Amino acid sequence: MINKLFTPQKIAIDFGTANCVMIVEGKGVVLQEPTVVAISPKEKKVLAIGEDAKLMLGKVPEGVESKRPLKNGGISNYRLAEALLKRFFKKVLGGVVLAKPEVMVAAPAGLTSVEERALTQALSSVGAGKIYILPEPVAAAIGAGLPINQSTGNLIVNLGGGTAEVAVLSLNGVVAYESYRGAGDVINEAIINYLKRKHNLIVGEVTAEELKIKYASAMPVKNPIEIEIKGKNSKTGQPDIIKIGSGEFVEPTREVLDNIANSVKKVLAKTPPELMSDIIDNGMVLSGGTAMLKGIDEFLTKAIGIPTYVAEDPLTCVARGLEIAIKNLGAYKRSIRIN
């Protein structure tokens, strides 16, 4: 009984640019919150973290800042990342921790050594024990149930907030890889720029994300509806309300998706011909929050020429893959880095 009490918990963490998903072994998903921190630089104080901080984006008074500590999948603000992880760990583990938890964390396959060191140091500083790093595409493929342990080609496209990671996997390793540093967040930016350019309307990040989730589509909309958008007129600086058809969001969305499709084509060009037949037969699988964009599977099927499928619960796919990997370290040791 004593040994069991002191056995470290195993935690899987998908610490993404837009969202953080944490799974504790035996408990399932225990945390799913935006990676946003609201701070008061003058007071050097954290005011809110996660969902509460996201609600403040674009609405904070003078002297308060609402920021994302990660950019393009890597830590851009170490202090904020540490504060966010500390709060999330406390929320998940509670007060007294008898043994430092073992942590499996996903990281972009193209993460630099400096970015990797920042990630492991942040996790260590908030109480993590042994830290395992698994490339995001590998974690996503495991979570999606792809047979990457076999000598067949598996094409995974993990679409997060900061990066679109495309990889062909075989025998638990990455055969070909490409990263496009821009996915969900860049679609938000494209919507903001489109509304300003076409309708002289300025909207914030939160509004753009809501519009993306509700109305954006990768394919032409068959039955568009009229929607009302509130913001600020870019010419007068005054409050403004416009009405546009929901089908208009295809244009800014496509600007980003064309780049993602090009990344897939680059990976396929680097893929050995022996694995190409498997990919043609099995298609590609999409994971990550941006995989929930309407029509994205149909768009990529037409753009690439192979069938495309969205993984079950794509937002937690990476975290679920990490949970499986931390339970079966030996099976995935080829892809795991230990710190």
- In the structure, what pLDDT confidence band is assigned to residue 131 with cuts at 50, 70 and 90? very high
The 10 Å Cβ neighbour count of residue 251 is 12
Higher pLDDT, 29 or 96: 29
pLDDT digits (tens, 9 = 90+) for 138-151: 999 999 999 999 99
Q: Which residues contact 331 (CB under 8 A, 6 or more apart)?
A: 149, 172, 325
Distances (CA, A) of 334 to 147, 170, 172, 177, 231: 15, 11, 7, 16, 50
* pLDDT value at residue 95: 67
- In the structure, what pLDDT confidence band is assigned to residue 155 with cuts at 50, 70 and 90? very high
- In the structure, what pLDDT confidence band is assigned to residue 58 with cuts at 50, 70 and 90? confident
Contact 319, 288 (CB under 8 A): no
The mean pLDDT value for 4-13 works out to 80
Name the average pLDDT for the chain. 91
Residue 2 clears pLDDT 50, i.e. is over it: no
Query: How far, in Å, CA of 245 to CA of 251, rounded?
Result: 12
- In the structure, what pLDDT confidence band is assigned to residue 242 with cuts at 50, 70 and 90? very high
Among 20-34, 46-60, 149-163, 290-304, where is mean pLDDT lowest?
A: 46-60
- In the structure, what pLDDT confidence band is assigned to residue 72 with cuts at 50, 70 and 90? confident
* pLDDT value at residue 6: 61
Q: Which residues contact 89 (CB under 8 A, 6 or more apart)?
A: 126, 127, 128
Evaluated on CA atoms 8, 12, 17, 18, the torsion sign reads negative
Q: Which pTM was predicted? A: 0.91
- In the structure, what pLDDT confidence band is assigned to residue 264 with cuts at 50, 70 and 90? very high
- φ, ψ at 310 (rounded to 5°): -95, 130
pLDDT digits (tens, 9 = 90+) for 200-217: 999 998 899 999 999 999
* pLDDT value at residue 97: 66
Q: Which domains does the chain have, with CATH numbers?
A: 2-137+319-338 (3.30.420.40), 145-311 (3.30.420.40)
The mean pLDDT value for 237-246 works out to 96
Query: How far, in Å, CA of 339 to CA of 67, rounded?
Result: 28
Q: Sheet harboring 239-245: ordered strands across?
A: 201-202, 226-233, 239-245
- In the structure, what pLDDT confidence band is assigned to residue 1 with cuts at 50, 70 and 90? very low
Rounded (to 5) percent helix, strand, coil in the chain:
40, 30, 30
Alpha helix stretches (DSSP H) within the chain: 2-5, 51-54, 78-93, 113-125, 136-143, 184-199, 205-215, 250-270, 273-282, 296-304, 317-327
- DSSP classification of residue 181: S
